[in-house]
């Protein structure tokens, strides 16, 4: 119950985005522009501000990275084991495989920020920064036969990763953000969460063929049940507690990011199938994420 109540406002924003997209006469270009604003400006500002203002001890954070990597690796391995469920449709599998392990950073930062404030955002930020390259490598590797987009190019263009690296460097320099810069980044950060969640809701695609129902259910179970369980086991085994423990659980329990759809389309994959699976993942996470969050809060 505690997890449900904590997440209700965030899930409410996602559903509001879905309603606004369908009932209000905003052009598709509006939502496309909003997604770009959030992705390229607002969330990078949120990440950079949190990281630049927080001292980071990488030695202490090593178990955090290990736990996140264990959860991600679980999704990759179990995702690969699902290939036979797609039968002859291996092109569809190559696109949907990433739905077993990719994560929605917007929701993760919103949830952990509510739990632990700037410290939580900084912790989630460094975990995301470490896991984005791994997720991109696995996704692009599987889709490589369908396009010529390289892994290094994808990572070099990822604004969340770039903002994380910039925040690392600024934090390590020992400098303090100037007042004006801190206030500007603060204003952008305040807008990031609400607009990001609205954009997630607007991107939900509830119609269209899901392909093999068994294969889809398998990938959903991997992402929403097996991956969080692996994260919980790893975090408990490595003795994580407090904000680090909560961050791993939230990270592992996140639904698939809409960037999975974007990557599939850009690399000539099964865009509609991925869009449906991402949407189903997001909606089902409204049921599973509060459960995993309650588990974390009781730890």
What does the pLDDT read at residue 261? 76
| Closest CA relative to residue 128, chosen from 149, 100, 107 | 107
Separation of alpha carbons 146 and 134, rounded Å: 20
DSSP assignments along 177-229, one per residue: --HHHHHHHHHHHHHHHHHHHHHHHHT----S--S-HHHHHHHHHIIIIIHHH
What does the pLDDT read at residue 144? 66
What does the pLDDT read at residue 152? 65
Question: What pTM value is reported for the model?
Answer: 0.81
| CATH 3.30.565.10 is right for the domain spanning 2-20+28-297 | no
Using CB atoms within 10 Å of the CB of residue 87, give its burial: 0 to 12 exposed, 13 to 18 middle, 19+ buried. Answer: exposed
| Closest CA relative to residue 125, chosen from 139, 112, 140 | 112
User: Is 294 within 8 Å of 230 (Cβ atoms)?
Assistant: no
Q: Please name the residues in contact with 111: beta carbons below 8 A apart, sequence gap of 6 or more.
A: 6, 7, 10, 250, 289, 293
Per-position pLDDT tens, the chain of length 299:
555 667 778 888 889 989 999 898 888 899 888 888 988 898 889 878 877 877 777 778 899 999 999 999 999 999 999 989 988 777 788 888 999 999 988 889 889 988 898 889 889 988 988 888 788 778 877 776 544 555 566 667 778 778 878 888 888 888 888 999 989 998 998 888 888 888 888 878 766 555 668 888 999 999 999 999 999 999 999 999 999 999 999 999 999 987 777 677 666 667 778 888 888 898 899 899 999 998 888 87
| Closest CA relative to residue 41, chosen from 152, 129, 160, 154 | 160
Separation of alpha carbons 224 and 289, rounded Å: 8
What does the pLDDT read at residue 63? 95
User: Is 268 within 8 Å of 278 (Cβ atoms)?
Assistant: no
| Closest CA relative to residue 105, chosen from 151, 43, 33 | 43
Separation of alpha carbons 285 and 202, rounded Å: 16
């Amino acid at each position: 119950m505690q997890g449900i109540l904590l997440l209700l406002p965030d899930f409410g924003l996602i559903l509001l985005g879905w309603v606004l997209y369908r009932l209000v006469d905003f052009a598709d270009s509006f939502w496309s522009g909003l997604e770009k604003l959030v992705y390229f400006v607002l969330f990078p500002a949120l990440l950079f501000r949190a990281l630049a203002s927080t001292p980071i001890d990488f030695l202490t954070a090593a178990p955090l990275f290990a736990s996140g990597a264990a959860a991600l690796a679980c999704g990759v391995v179990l995702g690969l084991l699902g290939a036979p469920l797609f039968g002859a449709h291996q092109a569809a599998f190559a696109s949907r495989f990433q739905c077993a392990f990719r994560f929605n950073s917007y929701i993760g930062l919103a949830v952990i920020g509510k739990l632990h404030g700037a410290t939580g955002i900084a912790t989630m930020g460094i975990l995301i920064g470490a896991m984005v390259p791994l997720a991109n490598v696995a996704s692009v590797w599987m889709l490589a036969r369908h396009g010529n987009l390289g892994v290094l190019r994808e990572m070099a263009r990822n604004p969340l990763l770039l903002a994380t690296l910039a925040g690392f460097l600024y934090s390590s320099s020992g400098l303090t953000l100037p007042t004006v810069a801190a206030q500007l980044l603060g204003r952008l950060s305040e807008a990031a969460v609400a607009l990001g969640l609205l954009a997630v809701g607007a991107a939900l695609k509830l119609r269209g063929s899901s392909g093999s129902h068994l294969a889809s259910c398998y990938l959903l179970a991997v992402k929403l049940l097996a991956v969080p369980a692996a994260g919980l086991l790893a975090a408990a085994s490595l003795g994580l507690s407090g904000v680090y423990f909560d961050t791993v659980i939230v990270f592992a329990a996140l639904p698939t990011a809409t960037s999975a759809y974007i990557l599939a389309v850009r690399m000539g994959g099964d865009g509609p199938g991925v869009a449906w699976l991402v949407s189903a993942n997001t909606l089902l996470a409204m049921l599973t994420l509060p459960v995993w969050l309650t588990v974390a809060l009781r730890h």
